[in-house]
Amino acid sequence: MGRSLARLLVVLGACALAVGIAAGCGTSGSGSSGSVNRPIQVTTSQDIPHTDPALGYDTLSWPVEHAVFTTLITYNTSASAFVPWAATSVPKPQNGGKKYVFTLRKGMKFTNGEPVDASAFKYEIERILNPKTKSPVAGFYTNIVGATDYQKNPSGDLKGVKVLSPTQIEFDLVTPDQTFLQTMAIPSASAVPKKAVEKAGPDFDTHPVGSGPMKVETFSHGSKLVLVKNPDYKNLSGNPETTEAKSKEIDITIGIEPTTEIQRVQAGQADYELETAIPAAQYTQLKNNPQWKSYIKADTTNTIWYFYGNMTQKPFTNPKVREAMKYVIDKERISQVLAGEVALTSQMLPPHMPGYDTSIKSENYYDPAKAKQLLKEAGYPNGFTIDFWDQNSSDEPKVDQVLQQDFSQVGIKMNLHSVSFSEWIDKQESGTTQSGGGYWSQDFPDPSDFLDVLFNSKQIPANNQSHYTGSDQELAQALVEPNHQKRMEMYQQIQKQILASNAVVPVYNGKSIYFVNPKLKGAPIDPVWYQTYQTWYLTE
């Protein structure tokens, strides 16, 4: 007995020691040097997928590309309008909306000395359409005349992009498209140096050569990406959005666990915790702590999380069942388990999206009694069983379990399939899921990027998981309407149609919540880019 007791005490003692050490590690730490010229330290848990504008299509790659490359036009700070960048002005559409001509500024160069001219912009579009590149954004440029031919035969000429002179480039479209300029402002349409690209081959993605305010000094996947100021870049337009880099260097350290990132910022070893949101577990505590409150940087993003039922599968073929879903879901409980790090909504367009309908107030329709009533009227007095699919990343499983309980309260048994992100994408895109959690993040700030992508019958099954088909004609008309005001109104009408059909239940817009050193200035949460590395700087 004595021997066992001794053993027990040793084990417990060891445990206590381990816990003590672990707790101690969090709070200690040498502060970083106070110089305002030191490199800005960013930490993130996920690897940055790409720096090549033909390949990047995510929220981590785009801000890097936006700092390293130049596009013809870009967004103003509120993403409500375009401002010229490499072009001298934002062109007006000609020929019934099918022709755009850009005039380029003179004297722009890539960091390897190649000129930034019309052919450099044409070359990028060609790369994207070339099937060898396997670009995820090719779909944005298939409306250019000759694009589909070029995709079949990339050794030919891309007829719809004409290099009229080194400083003049013309784009001809098959059909008029009000989102064309959007596709010119995203990093995919950056100028790229042909010689450097051909020489580097696939290495271009880790050793990019651009003409933007910053350049990539080193990039080691899964480990670190270092951005430094590009001394050759000049802000020719004079607009604040196209500024020269305000800092000398930004170091992005990859693969740090979010809880550790928070601790590093608190210890002064890092300046910016780059995650979608602060882990809910710590958020509440930090929010109420006077020492750390000022470190929290938050804003609603143009993202949406929604519940969908497949309208072509029972029971969702029944409009009363779909209506009942609205009353089953307790949105406030969902917000509560996510520590309030989301903004509840009752529409599909997010608040910073042009066309957002301020007349549709966010409401929690939660009413289990009403839901049961509707289900009874629909012919399901005893409820039913449904299969629900969602990704198992971060806090999704929590939301799904809240939904599961909400459903069981009205007699619906939910078989929860909580799977990896890639499996979830595959399953959803197969169009066979009965119901699930839908999530969308904007490509660019235009309402078509939400309503057209998620509710056009052409997008079944890839992005239109609810299989809604009721607004195809209206969506086609809105895509080409030249009058901006009228166009926004058309999208609002379409949204009302979609909401009336109860094809989906919009639940929340995500928030980006970062934990940031208050001495880091010039770092707004940009509605398009989230991080505009080129505008960041440290103060005393």
Partner 1 sequence: MFGLTVFVLMILVAVFAPLIAHYDPTLQFRDGLRADGSPVGPSAKFWLGTDALGRDLYSRLVYGARTSLEVAILANIVSTLIGIIVGSVAGSFGGVVDTGLMRFTDVMMSFPIILFAAFLAVVFRPGMAVLIFIIGFVSWFYLARIVRAEILSVKNREYVEAARSIGVNPNVILVRHLLPQVYGQIIVYVTLGFSTTVLYEAVLSFLSIGIQPPTASWGNLIAEGDQYLTTAPWIAVFPGLAVAITVLGLNLLGDGLRDALDPRR
The residues that touch partner 1, with contacts defined as CB under 8 A, are: 1, 4-5, 7-8, 11-12, 15, 26, 259, 279-282, 284-285, 287-288, 333, 335-340, 392, 397-398, 401-402, 404-405, 418-419
Q: Supply the minimum distance, in Å, between the C-beta of residue 355 and partner 1.
A: 31
Which three-class secondary structure state does DSSP give residue 269? coil
Q: Supply the minimum distance, in Å, between the C-beta of residue 89 and partner 1.
A: 49
First-last CA distance in the chain: 63
Q: Supply the minimum distance, in Å, between the C-beta of residue 435 and partner 1.
A: 18
Q: Supply the minimum distance, in Å, between the C-beta of residue 220 and partner 1.
A: 24
The H or E element that residue 261 is part of is helix 258-266
For residue 88, which of 107, 69, 66 has the smallest C-alpha distance? Answer: 107
Q: Supply the minimum distance, in Å, between the C-beta of residue 279 and partner 1.
A: 5
Q: Residue 402 or residue 504: which is nearer to partner 1 going by CB?
A: 402
Q: Residue 3 or residue 134: which is nearer to partner 1 going by CB?
A: 3
Residues 233/234/240/242 CA torsion (nearest 10 deg): -50
The answer for residues whose C-beta is within 8 angstroms of residue 21's C-beta and 6 or more apart is: none
CA distances from 501 to 317, 355, 373, 498 (A): 11, 20, 18, 5
Q: Residue 239 or residue 401: which is nearer to partner 1 going by CB?
A: 401
Q: Residue 317 or residue 405: which is nearer to partner 1 going by CB?
A: 405
Q: Residue 120 or residue 262: which is nearer to partner 1 going by CB?
A: 262
DSSP assignment of 213-249 equals SEEEEEEETTTEEEEEE-TT---SS--GGGPPPSSSE
Q: Return phi, psi of residue 323, to 5°.
A: -65, -40
Q: Residue 392 or residue 493: which is nearer to partner 1 going by CB?
A: 392
Q: In this structure, are residues 301 and 509 in contact, taking their beta carbons and an 8 Å threshold?
A: yes
Q: Return phi, psi of residue 372, to 5°.
A: -60, -40
Interatomic CA distance for residues 61 and 220, integer angstroms: 14
Interatomic CA distance for residues 71 and 36, integer angstroms: 30
Q: Residue 285 or residue 539: which is nearer to partner 1 going by CB?
A: 285
Q: Supply the minimum distance, in Å, between the C-beta of residue 405 and partner 1.
A: 5
Interatomic CA distance for residues 388 and 307, integer angstroms: 9
Q: Supply the minimum distance, in Å, between the C-beta of residue 431 and partner 1.
A: 21
